[in-house]
C-alpha cells in the first residue's frame, strides 16, 4: 500500500537536494554526494530483482559497465552529446539484461548459486569483449574532452544533479514495485517459486521485467559515472568489487525493504571515505566486513528492519498439506 506521506517525502527531499548546488558548495561536497547517489542507484536497482525475488546476481557490474562503455563510445567515437547518450546507455544495458534473462529464466535449474555464478560469468564475458575490440582496445577511453553542459553554473553540479535524479528514480521504482501486485509476485518467488507458479503468479514475466528495470537503472548510472571519472578502463569498470559492494550495501540496509539498500549505500560510502586516508585505509574493508557480520548476526533483516521495527512483507501463502508419516503409506493399523 502506498502512503501519501512517502510521496510527499520524495518530493520534498528531491526539491531540497536539487536546489543544494545553488548554495555554491565546494566541489568536493558535490562530488561526494554524487558518489552517495551513485551507490544508492546501483544498490537499489540490484535489489529490485535480487532482493525482492531472491535471485542473487553477481553480474550487476556487467550492466553498469555496458552503460559506461555505451556513453564512452557514443560520446568519443560519434560525437553524440553527453546527455543524449544516457538514454542509450540505459537501453543497451536493459536489452542485454533482458536478452540474457530470457534464456536463463527458461532453465529452471539455474537458481540459487548457479544463477549467481552465471551472472558473474557474464561480467567476465563483457569485459573480454570490450578489451579485445575497438570498444576499449586495451588502453581505455578518455572522456576529458567531452563537454558537460553546466547546470547551476558548473559541470560538477551537472553530475550531482544527474546522480540525484537517477538515485530518486531507483528508489521510487523500488517503492512502486514494492507496493504493487508485481512486487507481491516477486516476494512470492522469493519465498517459494514453485508454489507461486501453482497459485498463478506469472513468474517468468515478473522476473524478466524486474531484470530489465534493474539493468536499465544500472546502465543510466554507468553512463553518468563514465563522465565523472573521465577515463574508463575494463579493469575498473568490470571489477568484481562493484558487484560485491552492491550486494554488501543491500544486505546491510535490508533486502526486504524498498529503502534498505539506500540506507546501506549511505553507510558504506560514508565509512569508506571516512577511512580512506592515512593508516586507517588498510582497515577499511576489514571494518566494513566486521560491520556486515554483526548486522547478519544481530540484525538479520538489515538496518531497515530495525528502523521499521516490524516484520517485513508477509510470506506468500502456501497450500495446506497434511503432515504424514513417510512410512504410513500402506501400513495396516
For residue 307, tell me if it sits in a domain: no
| Concatenated DSSP letters of 83-100 | HHHHHHHHHHHHHHHHHH
Residues 120 and 110: their CA atoms lie apart, in Å, by 13
For residue 297, tell me if it sits in a domain: no
Angle, helix 27-53 to helix 240-253, in steps of 10 degrees: 80
Q: What is the mean pLDDT of residues 111-126?
A: 89
Show the domain range for 140: 10-239
Number of domains in the chain: 1
For residue 231, tell me if it sits in a domain: yes
Residue 324 has pLDDT above 50, yes or no: no
Residue 218 has pLDDT above 90, yes or no: yes
For residue 279, tell me if it sits in a domain: no
For residue 254, tell me if it sits in a domain: no
Predicted local distance difference test score (pLDDT) of residue 167 = 96
Please tell me the least confidently modeled range out of 153-162, 281-290, 324-333. Answer: 324-333
Predicted local distance difference test score (pLDDT) of residue 327 = 42
Are 143 and 227 a contacting pair, CB within 8 Å?
A: yes
- Look over the chain and give the mean of its residue pLDDT values, rounded to a whole number: 85
Cell numbers describing residue 43: 544498490
Predicted local distance difference test score (pLDDT) of residue 282 = 61
Predicted local distance difference test score (pLDDT) of residue 19 = 83
How many Å separate Cα 195 from the centre of its chain? 27
Cell numbers describing residue 312: 517485513
pLDDT of 234-269, one tens digit each?
999 999 889 989 998 999 899 989 999 999 999 889
For residue 131, tell me if it sits in a domain: yes
Q: What is the mean pLDDT of residues 124-129?
A: 94
To 5 degrees, how large is the angle CA 9–CA 27–CA 63?
Answer: 65
Residue 23: exposure state from Cβ atoms within 10 A (0-12, 13-18, ≥19): exposed
For residue 144, tell me if it sits in a domain: yes
Give me the sign of the Cα torsion angle 211, 217, 220, 222.
negative
Are 21 and 157 a contacting pair, CB within 8 Å?
A: yes
As a 3-state breakdown, the chain gives helix, strand, coil percent values, each rounded to 5, of 70, 0, 25
For residue 247, tell me if it sits in a domain: no
Grouping H, G, I as helix, E, B as strand and the rest as coil, residue 154 is strand
Selection from 47-51, 266-270, 312-316 with the highest mean pLDDT = 47-51
How many Å separate Cα 279 from the centre of its chain? 31
Residue 172 has pLDDT above 70, yes or no: yes
Residues 130 and 35: their CA atoms lie apart, in Å, by 25
Residues 83 and 308: their CA atoms lie apart, in Å, by 38
Residues 217 and 173: their CA atoms lie apart, in Å, by 10
Cell numbers describing residue 7: 510521496
* Confidence at 329, pLDDT banded by 50, 70, 90: very low
Q: How far is CA 19 from CA 16, 25, 131, 214, 269, in A?
A: 5, 11, 40, 28, 22
Residues 311 and 118: their CA atoms lie apart, in Å, by 32
Predicted local distance difference test score (pLDDT) of residue 319 = 46
* Confidence at 2, pLDDT banded by 50, 70, 90: low
Report percent pLDDT > 90 for the chain. Answer: 57
Predicted local distance difference test score (pLDDT) of residue 330 = 38
Predicted local distance difference test score (pLDDT) of residue 314 = 46
Residue 197: exposure state from Cβ atoms within 10 A (0-12, 13-18, ≥19): middle
Residues 6 and 12: their CA atoms lie apart, in Å, by 10
Amino acid at each position: 500500500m502506498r502512503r501519501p506521506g512517502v510521496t510527499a517525502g520524495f518530493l520534498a527531499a528531491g526539491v531540497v537536494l536539487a536546489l543544494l548546488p545553488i548554495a555554491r558548495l565546494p566541489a568536493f561536497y558535490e562530488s561526494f554526494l554524487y558518489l552517495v547517489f551513485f551507490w544508492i542507484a546501483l544498490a537499489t536497482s540490484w535489489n529490485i530483482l535480487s532482493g525482492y525475488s531472491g535471485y542473487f546476481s553477481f553480474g550487476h557490474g556487467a550492466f553498469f559497465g555496458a552503460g559506461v562503455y555505451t556513453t564512452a563510445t557514443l560520446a568519443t567515437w560519434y560525437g553524440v552529446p553527453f546527455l543524449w547518450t544516457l538514454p542509450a546507455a540505459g537501453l543497451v544495458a536493459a536489452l542485454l539484461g533482458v536478452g540474457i534473462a530470457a534464456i536463463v529464466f527458461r532453465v529452471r535449474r539455474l537458481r540459487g548459486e548457479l544463477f549467481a555464478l552465471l551472472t558473474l560469468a557474464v561480467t567476465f564475458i563483457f569485459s573480454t569483449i570490450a578489451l579485445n575490440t575497438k570498444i576499449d582496445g586495451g588502453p581505455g577511453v578518455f572522456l576529458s574532452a567531452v563537454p558537460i553542459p553546466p547546470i547551476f553554473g558548473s559541470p560538477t553540479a551537472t553530475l550531482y544533479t544527474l546522480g540525484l535524479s537517477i538515485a530518486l528514480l531507483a528508489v521510487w521504482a523500488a517503492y512502486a514495485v514494492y507496493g504493487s501486485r508485481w512486487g507481491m509476485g516477486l516476494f512470492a518467488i522469493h519465498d517459494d517459486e514453485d508454489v507461486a507458479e501453482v497459485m498463478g503468479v506469472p513468474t517468468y514475466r515478473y522476473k524478466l521485467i524486474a531484470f530489465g528495470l534493474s539493468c536499465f537503472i544500472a546502465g543510466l548510472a554507468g553512463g553518468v559515472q563514465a563522465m565523472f571519472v573521465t577515463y574508463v578502463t575494463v579493469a575498473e569498470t568490470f571489477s568484481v568489487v562493484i558487484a560485491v559492494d552492491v550486494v554488501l550495501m543491500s544486505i546491510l540496509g535490508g533486502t526486504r525493504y524498498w529503502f534498505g539498500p539506500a540506507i546501506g549505500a549511505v553507510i558504506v560510502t560514508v565509512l569508506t571515505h571516512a577511512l580512506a586516508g592515512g593508516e586507517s585505509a588498510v582497515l577499511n574493508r576489514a571494518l566494513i566486513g566486521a560491520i556486515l557480520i554483526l548486522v547478519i548476526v544481530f540484525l538479520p533483516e538489515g538496518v531497515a528492519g530495525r528502523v521499521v521495527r516490524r516484520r517485513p512483507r508477509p510470506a506468500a501463502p502456501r497450500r495446506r498439506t497434511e503432515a504424514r508419516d513417510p512410512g504410513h503409506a500402506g501400513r495396516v493399523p
